Amino acid sequence: MPMPHYPVSCSAPGCPQPAAFKVAARWNDGITHELKTYSLACLNCLGTLFASALVKSAACRLAPGEALETPGIYELHRGGRDKTLKRRADLEGPSARRPEVECPDSSDPHPC
């Protein structure tokens, strides 16, 4: 079933920009594989949202048999499928991470 084409906006609170990247990590439980999406980001918010995803990932408790890879940055293509997303490892370097985001936000209802 084709996905509808609609503009996706940045996940950062109050940011009106359209998202250009997806912050996601590959997850599997030995049977099912999926790309777990943390956030959708515009270029300006990418560093902050990626750092936040790293924190959430580190705080995520997995059930036995589950495996969650370190979050990565993928180019977002409107209407594209996850398997066709292009990873942008060049954006995942230390310069993309903001050191001030170190503590998990315990009020976040979706820690994973």
Comparing CB distances to Zn ion, the nearer of 27 and 49 is: 49
Comparing CB distances to Zn ion, the nearer of 45 and 54 is: 45
Distance, CA of 93 to chain centre: 15
DSSP category for residue 96: G
Closest CA to 22 of 98, 75, 70, 99: 75
44 to 62, 100, 111: CA distances (angstroms): 31, 16, 23
Stretch that binds Zn ion, among 7-15, 22-30, 55-63, 84-92 (CB under 5 A): 7-15
What string marks each residue from 21 to 50 as x (binds Zn ion by CB under 5 A) or -? ---------------------x--x-----
Binding site for Zn ion (CB under 5 A): 10, 12, 15, 17, 42, 45
